[in-house]
Structure 1
Amino acid sequence: MWTADVILAVVLAACTVGTALRQGDAGMVVPPGKVPLFQGPVPVPVPPPPPAGWVPDLGPVGHLEPWQLVLAALTALPLAARRRYPLTAFGAVIVTTLLFNQRLGAGDTTVYTFLSCVVAAYSAAVYSPHRLRALAGVLTGAALIATFSEENFPYVTPGVVPFLLLAGVGLGANATHVWKQRVHALEVRQEAATRLALDSERARIARELHDIVTHNVSVMVIQAGAARKVMDAAPDRAREALLAVEAGGRTALAELRQVMGLLTPSDEDPGIGTNAETGADLAPQPNLSQVPALVGRVRATGVPVELTVTGSPVPLPAGVGLTAYRVVQEALTNTVKHAAGATVRVVLEHTPDALHVVVTDTGGTASASAGTGTGRGLTGLRERVSLHGGTLRAGGRPTGGYRVDAVLPTEGYRVDAVLPTGEPS
């Protein structure tokens, strides 16, 4: 398209300059208003033969100044940028056309200057993203051309009519093609945006399911293994472990119902997202106020966990509270899965502008059933924390064990979450 526009601009400029040169060589200008539209060929007066030895003085360039030839070329050359800068190209063509025709007068060049104006106006109307500006510009340009129609409107002969008709058909076909291309491009962008939204939502759901299922199932596996080992020797302890497995399963089901309730339209199944027996809404998603309960459940599996809360708690949005909860949950889950026998310390440090969540363990023997981690949990945590403007660092400690350190900004947040308070437990 860029090549076609350059060729069009150069051809029209060459035609305008060549016609101007011929008009200057003839030494005459067709008087305005003397030849009506669609008249036959304009008679050109034949000058008397020059005397012998006479040499004509053609002036600088065929009775035309060089700046006039430059102005003639500029009536069409701006069309090279008619798609990229349609309004600018249209304004340049209109201004140079008016100046050139005022200086040179009406003649054969008006055919090409008028055609350049038509192409520029078409480009402004079709390619400009600013519809109101394009409409105002085209109307203003048309008014200027009409005001000085004697110098700017071409003298149409019957031989030019088919050319004008074919040019109109070509412009209309090109306009239709351009609109189809724009519609197709818009559809492609919408499909890409839809796919991006779906991928983001899938990633968010995967993070939620990972946090919910991995933690609760890990705790259930540990409790079930403990119950199996002490079932014969200590039935009471086995019974307590099985009750913990049941409680973990119920918690996992409740949180899974919450996620499914967010995914399913409310008019499909009123049971989704509510308690099947009572019909009451499930509890809201966890936040910092439920961290002590989370620590207690992990401690009940036999993992020594210490929780420390320092500083003055700052009210947090539900999203930030949920993120802090998930950081603690993922760190404890990794300890249960990969560091059996380790001691864990959870620190929630409240400062005036941030919440620091630090979970460390002393390391231990990897669980035989743990397998190799995929790293998805920590990747999801980093995305969660960065979504709220925070940072997360995770890695091994020089003295052994593992450390997860998250910083969540809290400055300027309003009250919409209940935070745990009290002395270290």
Structure 2
Amino acid sequence: MDRERGDRGRRLLDGLVALALLVIGLAGTAPAGLNQGVEAGPAAYPLVVVAALAVAVRRRWPLATLAVVTAASTAYLVLGYPYGPILLSFFVAVYTVAAYRPARDAAVANGVALLVLLTHVFVGVRPPGLVGLMPAAAWVVVPFAVGVTVRLGRENAARSRTDEARRLADAERLRVAREVHDVVGHGLAAIHLQAEIALHLLARKPEQAEAALTAISRTSKEALDELRVTLTVVRRDEAADERAPAPGLAQLPQLRERLAGAGLPVTVEVDGSPRPLPVAVDLAAYRVVQEALTNVLRHAGPATATIRLRYAPTEVAVEVTDTGRGAAAPAGRADGYGLAGMRERVTALGGSFAAGPASAGGFRVSATLPVEEVT
């Protein structure tokens, strides 16, 4: 629909241009002849009309338009009529071919048009001779240069839009990949440890193994629900499940409960008054905590963890420390995709991120995210 409206608009514009050229040609040909001391005979006006009206279809059939206008303009000049408004139609036809046809086609077509137009310099009622070469060539070279410039600018703009669309698509894919990594990675790490506990207790303490299996069921359901919410981002044809809460710091109690079931005691400390945060900041802070605790499950061994939240007027800070192996942990803990994803999340929002061995042992992950101050 938008394309059809655009086509109609362009056709209307071309029609108006042709009408303007027609009026200028009919009104200006005789005065041009008087200024040059050349009479514009009756045969001049049909050629002016043909050249002007051909411009009405210039973008639909640019080469045909150029051929008709060139023929009319050449016949006009060969008959000895004065340089006048008909050349404006020729100018527009040359420009259109240069602006809307491939460079090679445009160069060949306009070169042929120039050669045809130059015939009046040597042949006709009043041939100007060599002195007429430069003015005639200018009526091709100038609009050709302008048209090529416009076409190159349009092509560059189209490439820029394509590159920007590709960049946004890549950024969206990366964001979804991070979300899926965080959701699936955390859920599978918790399920793995709970399954290990269940297998260890199954023979000796089946009632405790049953609790671990129940925790596995609950964790897997929560992970699947969160994954379903995440994947709605790439399934544009389905509405998001509005009943599922968006991940954020408000879900830390559920996260803490899941990790406790997986054998990781977690303490939460809050400095300042909790308040609603922008969605992007809230999600990034939650994902940093979630991924940091997932790394504790995977790499720290027997450990405890502490989450510290600090709410300030212009920022919110999160810190996760553990009592695990710290610097002795596998290299993947310091260099893995999880920490890289956390850093990208935080820096994309203008925040700062740090991760490394804690001074008192264990490992420390911290992030500070800017928040606009509410006045």
- Identify which of 155, 167, 172 aligns with 1:184: 155
Q: Distance in 1 between matches of 2:164 and 2:190?
A: 39
- Identify which of 351, 368, 375 aligns with 1:407: 368
- 1:209 shift after superposition: 0.9
- 1:366 shift after superposition: 11
Q: Distance in 2 between matches of 1:295 and 1:236?
A: 23
Matched, 1:208 2:169: no
**CA contact under 8 A between 1:344 and 1:359: conserved in structure 2?**
yes
Q: Distance in 2 between matches of 1:324 and 1:413?
A: 19
Q: Distance in 1 between matches of 2:138 and 2:314?
A: 68
**Residue 165 and residue 264 in structure 1: after superposition, are their counterparts in 2 closer, same or farther (change >3 A)?**
same
Q: Distance in 2 between matches of 1:287 and 1:297?
A: 15
Secondary structure of the residue aligned to 1:314 is coil
The alignment covers a number of residue pairs equal to: 256
Q: Distance in 1 between matches of 2:159 and 2:316?
A: 43
**Which structure exhibits the higher relative contact order, with contacts defined as CA atoms closer than 8 Å and separated by 6 or more residues?**
1
- Identify which of 263, 273, 278 aligns with 1:302: 263
Specify the alignment match of 1:149 in structure 2.
none
The correspondence of residues 3-402 of structure 1 with structure 2, limited to 5 A, is 37=36, 158-266=129-237, 269=238, 273-274=240-241, 281-364=242-325, 372-373=332-333, 375-402=336-363
Q: Distance in 2 between matches of 1:353 and 1:188?
A: 39
- 1:301 shift after superposition: 1.1
Q: Distance in 2 between matches of 1:214 and 1:172?
A: 62
**CA contact under 8 A between 1:338 and 1:366: conserved in structure 2?**
no
* Runs of at least 5 residues in structure 1 that lack an aligned partner in the other structure: 1-35, 40-125, 127-155, 275-280, 415-425
Q: Distance in 2 between matches of 1:182 and 1:220?
A: 56
Deviations 1:51-95, CA, capped at 9 Å, x for gaps: xxxxxxxxxxxxxxxxxxxxxxxxxxxxxxxxxxxxxxxxxxxxx
- 1:355 shift after superposition: 2.1
Q: Distance in 1 between matches of 2:340 and 2:135?
A: 65
What TM-score does the superposition give when structure 1 sets the normalisation length? Answer: 0.55
Kindly indicate which of the two structures has a greater share of residues assigned to helix: 2
Task: Read off the aligned partner of 2:141 and give its amino acid letter.
Answer: G
Q: Distance in 2 between matches of 1:372 and 1:406?
A: 20
**CA contact under 8 A between 2:326 and 2:363: conserved in structure 1?**
no
**CA contact under 8 A between 1:230 and 1:237: conserved in structure 2?**
yes
Q: Distance in 1 between matches of 2:326 and 2:351?
A: 32
- 1:365 shift after superposition: 9.1
**Residue 184 and residue 391 in structure 1: after superposition, are their counterparts in 2 closer, same or farther (change >3 A)?**
same
Specify the alignment match of 1:131 in structure 2.
none
**CA contact under 8 A between 2:326 and 2:358: conserved in structure 1?**
no
Task: Read off the aligned partner of 1:239 and give its amino acid letter.
Answer: E
- 1:215 shift after superposition: 0.5
**Residue 188 and residue 352 in structure 1: after superposition, are their counterparts in 2 closer, same or farther (change >3 A)?**
closer
- 1:326 shift after superposition: 1.1
Q: Distance in 2 between matches of 1:390 and 1:372?
A: 23
- 1:291 shift after superposition: 0.7
What TM-score does the superposition give when structure 2 sets the normalisation length? Answer: 0.61
